[in-house]
């Protein structure tokens, strides 16, 4: 599934982080599993945990609570989950074309941003391990906006921070939450099929493009952003 290159130049590219730029699924499943085992009293199956990937952490840590149960301290759970993600950080792997993709946008003077469901503190810890994230022009975390994915707030915030109003913008992600977030923000949405989201679910979200791997994503961006002369960055 795909679409031909548009005659309109892409004015900004927004990237999801987990499952799109970095393979962090094992870290997320391990840390989230630890958290729910402690606070919910059981460890959900990996496929159940994987279905939550892309939601804000505050939503993930209460996903298996019984309706009408006793009040919980969500922030305590979030802090514990962040500690467990840090504990399992050695399981992370950067996808092979990530830095090349971000450098492509920079060389083509196309503003880029990371739009992530990580909390700001979680992202800051991630950044110390992966300084390549500084190749983007802005980062919006779930705790930077009133509502996380799938609401459009984070994508809209990223566009504002990039100074992009109107025109053609693209959000690249691996989950249906990304697709809904981007579309509701007025972005073209590209789904990557190598992350946590199932291909069937992604196709059901009717993305504008589906990219099988990072090489396809790189080639698609090359086709789009190199074809148009862009003003030099300040």
CATH at 74 = 1.10.150
Domain boundary among 75, 91, 107: 91
pLDDT of 214 reads 97
Strand ranges in 92-167 using DSSP code E only, listed in sequence order: 93-94, 112-115, 138-140
Considering the domain architecture, whether residues 116 and 150 belong to the same structural domain is answered as yes
CATH code at position 197? 3.40.50.1000
- For residue 168, being part of any structural domain is answered with yes
pLDDT digits (tens, 9 = 90+) for 76-89: 999 999 999 999 99
**Long-range contacts from 118-126, C-beta under 8 angstroms, 24+ separation:** 118/17, 118/18, 118/57, 118/142, 119/56, 119/57, 119/78, 119/82, 119/143, 120/144, 121/82, 122/57, 122/82, 122/85, 123/17, 125/82, 125/85, 125/86, 125/89, 126/17, 126/89
Shared domain for 101 and 35, answered yes or no, is no
Q: Say whether 22 sits in a helix, a strand or coil.
A: strand
Query: Are 153 and 38 in the same domain?
Result: no
Q: How many domains does the chain have?
A: 2
d(CA 171, CA 68): 36
Q: Are 102 and 69 in the same domain?
A: no
Do residue 54 and residue 158 come from a single domain? Answer: no
The answer as to whether 231 is a domain residue is no
Number of residues that make up the chain: 234
| Of the candidates 184, 181, 231, 187, the residue with the CA atom closest to the CA atom of residue 209 | 187
Residue 4 has a pLDDT of: 38
pTM of the shown model: 0.89
Mean of per-residue pLDDT scores for the chain: 92
> In this structure, are 100 and 207 located in the same domain?
yes
Q: Answer yes or no: do 206 and 106 share one domain.
A: yes
Residue ending a domain, choose from 70, 91, 112: 91
Task: Please give the residue range of the domain that contains residue 52.
Answer: 25-91
């Amino acid at each position: 599934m795909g679409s031909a290159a548009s005659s309109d130049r892409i004015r900004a590219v927004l990237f999801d982080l987990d499952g799109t730029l970095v393979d962090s699924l094992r870290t997320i499943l391990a840390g989230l599993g630890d958290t729910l085992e402690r606070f919910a009293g059981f460890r959900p199956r990996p496929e159940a945990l994987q279905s939550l990937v892309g939601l804000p952490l505050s939503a993930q840590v209460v996903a298996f609570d019984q309706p009408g149960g006793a009040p919980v301290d969500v922030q305590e759970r979030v802090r514990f989950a962040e500690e467990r993600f840090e504990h399992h950080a050695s399981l992370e792997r950067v996808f092979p074309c990530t830095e090349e993709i971000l450098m492509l946008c920079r060389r083509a003077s196309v503003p880029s941003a990371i739009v992530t469901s990580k909390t700001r503190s979680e992202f800051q810890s991630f950044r110390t391990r992966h300084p390549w994230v500084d190749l983007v022009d802005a980062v919006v975390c779930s705790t930077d906006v009133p509502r996380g994915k799938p609401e459009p707030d984070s994508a809209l915030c990223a566009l504002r921070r990039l100074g992009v109003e109107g025109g053609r913008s693209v959000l690249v992600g691996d989950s249906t939450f990304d697709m809904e977030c981007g579309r509701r923000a007025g972005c073209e949405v590209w789904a990557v099929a190598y992350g946590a989201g199932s291909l069937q679910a992604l196709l059901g979200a009717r993305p504008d493009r589906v990219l099988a791997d990072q090489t396809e994503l790189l080639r698609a961006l090359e086709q789009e952003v190199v074809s148009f002369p862009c003003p030099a960055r300040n």
